[in-house]
Structure 1
Amino acid sequence: MTVTDRLLPPTQAIEIILREVRRLPVEVVPLAEAGDRVLAEPLVADQDLPPFPAATMDGFAVIHDDTSPWREIIADQFAGQVVDVEVTPGTAARITTGAPLPRGADAVVPVERTEVRDDHVIILQDDVRPGENVRPVGADLRRGEVLIPAGTVIGPAEIGLLASLGRAQVAVSRRPRVSVLSTGDELVDPDQEPGPGQIRDSNRFSLVVAARRAGADVVWSGRGPDDAESLRRVLLERCAESDVVLTSGGVSVGEKDLITRILDDIGTVHFRRLFMKPGKPFHFASVGQAYVFGLPGNPVSAIVGFEILVATALRAMTGQQPVLPRPVTVVLEHDVESGDRIEYQRGVVWADGEGVLRARNTGSQSSARLMSLIGANAFLLIPPRDRLYRAGERVRAIIREPIEGQPEGDGGWEPGG
């Protein structure tokens, strides 16, 4: 039996994907368009910040060991300007937060610890330390320091840092161009009333959102015909115009599972079955320069397969780090049944008052039950074994959304679900 036909553990399937996918080219975009993109080159500081010693609060710039009881106010130093004065014994300069320290001064006394009399100030603080309330040169960053490594997704803080260093343009990885193709004559659009034996197409819309959230540019989405030759033409067209093509349905072994046969004909199939639940039928193939991921038709299977495998490929293609999420250890709150394959149960993970991560699943884990994903911030990894996983046992989990405190109520989970 070849690798293509074997039931592959998800970890081995990911290894194959990471071996096959290629990095996408780098492009330069304006700073305003760099948000949520992947930084292609490390950001290295080309200057010290701040470039001058700056006050960290409103007050008076002084010489720390000056013992003069009264000090003449010789200037007002505001942020955004520099006054040409020098603080000497017996003098002080009024200063605002963020303003550069005048020559001669080495400390700032907060305004609430002073008393102003006409054009003089009385320092009410007995012991002023050198450097007090002063942010020194390079306190935020030093020239030559690597500030943001390549592969980082650019968020608000990263954008702010790029702007503060004068980076009006940013080198980022090109977004993967993704097409999403649903298959099956039983599908109708959401605004249509299903006829006998028909269902509304949900996978196409779920996968479009999932791809966008993973940083892809969705260039096309639609439904494919259940006619082999027509579907073949559509698939070849999408592969020619995309980096990644996502299909849903048609990947099992039935007479109408056309994706399986078409991929064998037009591309190189790397694997087609996984030792995981949900999502046993899952195709990964190369067609020309494009990668095709044939996802199952069951809605939950499609989303789980996307998050575990496809999102990993998209991260690798853009150089995002880390490529693989790091599982955490959680304590089960209830008994959980195991199956014949490793199961990615949809669950809720939270931190209790002692910092222990606790978990429960979301009830019925049917691969058609989208409600099992609603509110789920994690996948609980349940390996196969011949007995229950009991409440209090530890298992691994992949976190999908932020972990919060203990949820209210019982959340609707069912023991053993």
Structure 2
Amino acid sequence: MQRTSRMLTPREALDIILAHVQRLPTETVTLMQAVGRVLAEPVIAPEDHPPFPAATMDGYAVIHDDTSPWREVIGEQYAGHVTDVVVTPGTAVRITTGAPLPAGADAVVPVEDVEVVDDHIVIRRDEVRPGENVRPVGVDIRRGDLVIPAGTLLGPAEIGLLASLGFARVTVSRRPRVSVLSTGDELVEPDAPLGPGQIRDSNRFMLVAAAERAGAEVIWAGRGPDDVERLTELLRERIAESDVVITSGGVSVGERDLISAALRTLGTVHIERLFMKPGKPFHFVTAGSTLLFGLPGNPVSALVGFEIFVVTALRAMTGQQPVEVEPVTVVLEHDVESGDRIEYQRAIVWCDSDGTLRARNTGPQSSARLLSAVGANAYLVVPPRATPYRAGERLQAILRGPVRGQRA
């Protein structure tokens, strides 16, 4: 058993965690099942796209340098419907957006630039350019192009692109299988009446939601028993079925911190304390290929620990790129007090009209105050120093949501 008693910086902790991550196997799914999954293999274009020259506007397909004053309309060409007509000097074909350009034509004149008289047209301008209003073959994608790299999180645009290139199925990383366990004699279900000293079990529901949003499959969630032997056996069962086991509570120094005692018997302890706030008590344990994260019981501490460390591990397991979210530089909107550890303050970051990212925290930063994370789109990283950080100074922030385009 390896144990590190000193407090590790978040960077040191991430390096240790990533060194123990094993990539998950792959599986093939339909496009309908692929949203939110991580692409396991690069996608190479099997064909040019578009595969034919296509009209970009409704109009008339013509020969650009045809000098005929009148042109006979000899047919119509619609998207999904191809005719065998050939455009020759003195002729034109009515065409709709997206339709293949008929043979012989090399330009499309919009309907607003044409006067129609019976079955003939007159172009009401002097010049038609070659290739006008036509998408050439392969203008978007050439056969053999890398169109989606491995490690991409598949969203609507990627899935639409795959469909347009003829892919009905795609190879992705298996979703991480996660178990979530909360501990504490004081915990009751959300809809239960509160007795003396009791609180509702918010962490379990929060962590399940966080795991699912991170792309994991939560295969079990529950509360742990209040004795070490039964808790150890439950964790052993969860380890056997899970890629990741997440616990909350019971990792501080104290005789009732059962999780710490149980984890020490189940695997190799790599991390026990972090040089950060919130979230100083933090366990990282490996049992075979399974990763165990012992998060603190305070809700904000658990959430910060999950989003900084567990999410990174889940991304690495699936090969998602980038594995870590790069911090951004922000300008403080107000003074910020500094403590004796690296602090992750819940904050709101927005972009000024000049492109500057500005930030303010969400108010009181107690680790028990989950309200501080509601609406926060970033963690403001506040290193320790003897004096406060003043308004106008620059700090780093880790984004956890979209940046707002105006003052929050």
Measured against the shorter chain, the TM-score band is over 0.9
Match of 1:56 in 2: 56
Question: For each residue in 1:248-291, what CA deviation from the matched residue of structure 2 results, as whole angstroms up to 9, or x when unmatched?
Answer: 00101100111112111121011111111000000000123311
Match of 1:415 in 2: none
Say which is worse superposed, 160-169 or 296-305, in terms of deviation. Answer: 160-169
The percentage of aligned residue pairs carrying the same residue is 71
Pair 1:371–1:223, CA change in 2 (3 A): same
Structure 1 residues 14-58: Cα deviation after superposition (integer angstroms, max 9, x where no partner): 011111010000000111101110011111100001111000000
CA distance in 1, matches of 2:199, 2:254: 19
State the Cα distance separating 1:3 from its structure 2 match: 6.1
String of CA shifts for 1:231-252, please: whole Å, max 9, x gaps.
Answer: 0111101111111000000101
- Local SS of the residue matching 1:127: coil
TM-score by length of 2: 0.98
Question: How many angstroms apart in 2 are the aligned matches of 1:141 and 1:55?
Answer: 17
The Cα shift of 1:169 comes to 1.0
Equivalent in the alignment of 1:411:
none
Partners in 2 of 1:162 and 1:405 — Cα distance? 31
* Cα contact 1:109–1:125 (8 A) shared by 2: no
CA contact (8 A) 2:43 2:149 kept: yes
Look up the equivalent residue of 2:95 and give its one-letter code: I
Q: Is the aligned partner of 1:318 residue 2:318? A: yes
Amino acid at match of 2:176: P
Identify the residue that residue 152 of structure 2 maps to in structure 1: 152
| Matched residue type, 2:240 | A
Partner Cα distance (1:136, 1:342) in 2: 55
- How many residues align structurally? 407
Q: Which 4+ runs in 1 deviate beyond 4 A?
A: none
| Cα distance in 2 between the residues matched to 1:81 and 1:360 | 57
What's the CA shift string for 1:344-400, capped at 9, x where partnerless? 000000011111111000000000000100110000000000001000000000111
| Distance in structure 2 (CA, Å) of the matches to 1:177 and 1:316 | 14
Instruction: For structure 1, list consecutive stretches of 5 or more residues without a partner in the other structure.
Output: 409-417
Q: What does residue 302 of structure 2 align with? A: 302
Q: Is the 8 A contact 1:4 1:270 kept in 2?
A: yes
Q: Which residue of 1 aligns with 2:291?
A: 291
Report what 2:330 is aligned to: 330
Report whether the alignment pairs 1:174 with 2:174: yes
Contact kept? 1:27, 1:174, Cα under 8 Å: yes
Unpaired segments ≥5 residues, structure 2: none
CA distance in 2, matches of 1:215, 1:21: 16
Task: Indicate yes or no: 2:101 matched with 1:101.
Answer: yes
TM-score (norm 1): 0.96
The aligned counterpart of 1:354 is 354
Equivalent position SS for 1:144: coil
CA distance in 2, matches of 1:264, 1:225: 17
Which residue in 1 is equivalent to 2:263?
263
> Is contact 1:55-1:97 (8 Å) kept?
yes
- Secondary structure at 2:286 match in 1: strand
Which residue is equivalent to 1:274? 274
Question: Considering only aligned residues, what root-mean-square deviation do their CA atoms show, in Å?
Answer: 0.9
Q: Which residue of 2 aligns with 1:78?
A: 78
| Helix, strand or coil at the partner of 2:230 | helix
Task: State the alpha-carbon separation in 1 of the partners of residues 178 and 93 from structure 2.
Answer: 60
Q: 3-state DSSP class of the match of 2:305? A: helix
Instruction: Indicate if the aligned counterparts of 2:22 and 2:289 stay in contact, CA closer than 8 A.
Output: no
Alpha-carbon separation, structure 1, partners of 2:168 and 2:86? 36
Contact 2:56-2:135 at 8 Å conserved across structures: yes
Q: What do the CA deviations read for 1:126-178 (whole angstroms, capped 9, x no partner)?
A: 11110000000001211000001111111000110111112111100000000
Equivalent residue runs for 1:364-383 within 5 Å = 364-383=364-383
